Amino acid sequence: MSCIKRIIAVLALITALLMLGGCAGDGSRNTSYTIYYKSSSGTSLYEVSYVPSAETFDEMMTELMTQMSVVGEDAGYVSTIPETVVYQGYERGIDALRIDFSSEYYEMDNTTEVLLRAAVVKTICQIPGVTKIMITVDSVQLVDSDGETVAAMDAESFIDTKNGGINSYQSASLVLYFPNQDGTKLKKEVRNVDYSSNMVLGRVIVEQLIAGSEYSDRRAVLNSSTEILDVSEKNGICTLNFSETVNQAPTENAPLAEAALYAIVNSICETSDTISGVKITVEGSSNVLFWDEIDLNNVFVMNQDMIETETLESGEAEGEPSAEETQAVRTADGAEDTSDTAETEEGSSESGTEAGALDGVSDSSMSDLSGDEESSAAGLSENTNSSAPELSEDADSSAPDVSEDAGSSGVEFAENGSDGTEFSKENSSIEEDALDNNGVLAGVD
C-alpha cells in the first residue's frame, strides 16, 4: 500500500513540475520589452526595460504606445512623442504595420522627428509578428523634407552608436558590393539606412557588408566575427583598422581574396563623395597580407574591373529596366522605321562614337524590334541581357488594394504605400502566426 502511495506522490510531483515548466517555458507574461524614450538633453535615445501585461495584439499596441507617451516627473528622460502630436491608431497588414499620427507631426524639427520615428519602430517591432512599420500622417504615408516617401522600416533601419549621444540621424543610400555566386566578381546592391551622425560613414558601410547581402546569389564579404576597431577619414582616404579576425575568411563559400577586399573598397569609394581611397590595417599594422594573399601596405582605389558586367550602373535600382533599355523602348515606340534606328546605331558604333549607344542591346536585336506599338511595349525580346525585366504596360496595374476602413483603430487609409506594401482590409484581420484562434497574442495565455 505504501508503494502505491509513493507512486501516486511521484506522479503528482511530476505533474506539478510539468505545470510549472509549462508556465516558465511560456514566459510571455514576464517578457521584458525595451521602451525607447528621449534623453533629457533631447539628443539621444534612452532605453527603459518594461514588462507589459497585455494579452492581445490590440492591448499590446495600446499599452506600448501609452508607455511611450506618458513619462513621470523627474524620470531623467522624456517622451519622443511631443504633446502636440497625437497617435491616431494603426492598421495591421501582411507585410507591415501602419502607425498613424496627426498633422502636427510635420511641425517637429529634424532631430525630434527622426528620434520619434526610431523610438516607435524599435519599440513596436518587438511585438511578435511585427517586422516592419510604416509611419503615416493623417492616413497618408510620411514624406521627408525633399518630398520623398519614407518606406516601411525595421529596427535595423536605425544604426546607433554606444559611444555618445545622437545629435541626429542621417539618411544615406549605400552602394554595397558583394561577391557574386562564384566569388570572382562583384554585384551591386543599394541599401537605404538611417544612422547616427556620430558615426563615420565608412564604419556604417563596413558593418552593412559584414551583415551580408539581402540576396541569396551573393557571397559573404567578411567573417561575421570581424571586429572594426577604428575608422577614420582624412585627406580623401578612409583608414579601416580591423582586429585579427578580419583575416579569417567566411567559413562557407568564401570568395576570392581580391573580391572580398574590393567589395570593401568599391563600396566606400562609390558611396562617399569625399573618399577616393581606402587603407586597411590589422591591429594597427599595414605590414600584413589580407587573407595571406594581398599586401595591405597600399592605398586601394575603386576597381571597376572587379564589377560584374551585368551589374547595374550607378543610380539604377535593382530589378528595374536600365536607362539604355528604357531608351530603346522609347525609340521603338516613336520611330516609324526602327530599322533606320538600328542602322544609325550601327553607323555610330562604326565611327567610334559612344554617345547615345545602347550598350545592352545588340545591333541584330535592334533590327528585330517591331514597329507595332503593342509589341514594342512588351519589351525587347532579343535583348542580349536575358535577365532584363519586362516593362509593364501600366505602372499602376500592380498597385495593391488598400483598405478604406482601418477597422477597430478608426483610422482610414485611402492610399497605398509607394513601396508597394500590401495591407489587409481590416485591423482585425491579423496574421494567423501572430494570433491564435481566440485573438490572443502568440505566446500569451
Q: Which one-letter DSSP state was computed for residue 431?
A: -
pLDDT at position 157:
76
Per-residue pLDDT, 31: 86
Strand 158-159 versus strand 186-196 pairing type: parallel
Amino acid sitting at position 416: N
pLDDT digits (tens, 9 = 90+) for 315-326: 444 444 444 444
pLDDT of residue 50: 94
Which residues are within 8 A (CB) of 206 and not within 5 positions of it... i.e. 6 or more apart?
228, 231, 240, 264, 267, 268
pLDDT digits (tens, 9 = 90+) for 300-311: 999 999 999 864
Please list, in sequence order, all residues whose beta carbon lies within 8 angstroms of the beta carbon of residue 40, skipping any fewer than 6 positions away.
76, 77, 78
Give me the pLDDT at residue 155, please.
Answer: 80
Q: What is the pLDDT of residue 5?
A: 57
pLDDT value, residue 13: 57
pLDDT at 12: 58
Q: What is the mean pLDDT of each run of 10 residues along the chain (445 residues)?
A: 58 52 42 90 85 93 94 86 95 86 93 89 93 94 84 78 53 92 95 78 93 92 92 92 93 92 97 94 94 95 91 44 44 43 42 38 38 40 40 42 42 44 40 42 43
Nearest to 45, CA basis, from 105, 107, 142, 111: 111
Grid cell, residue 145, equals 523634407
Q: Which residue matches cell numbers 483603430?
A: 409
Return the bridge partners of 233, or none: 238
Q: Are strands 294-295 and 289-290 parallel, antiparallel or unpaired?
A: antiparallel
Closest by alpha carbon to 116, among 162, 168, 76? 168
List, in order, residues 6 or more apart from 172 with CB less than 8 Å away.
Answer: 192, 193, 194, 195, 201, 204, 271
pLDDT, position 418? 44
* CA gap 251, 248 in Å, rounded: 8
CA angle 405, 93, 62 (to 5 degrees): 80
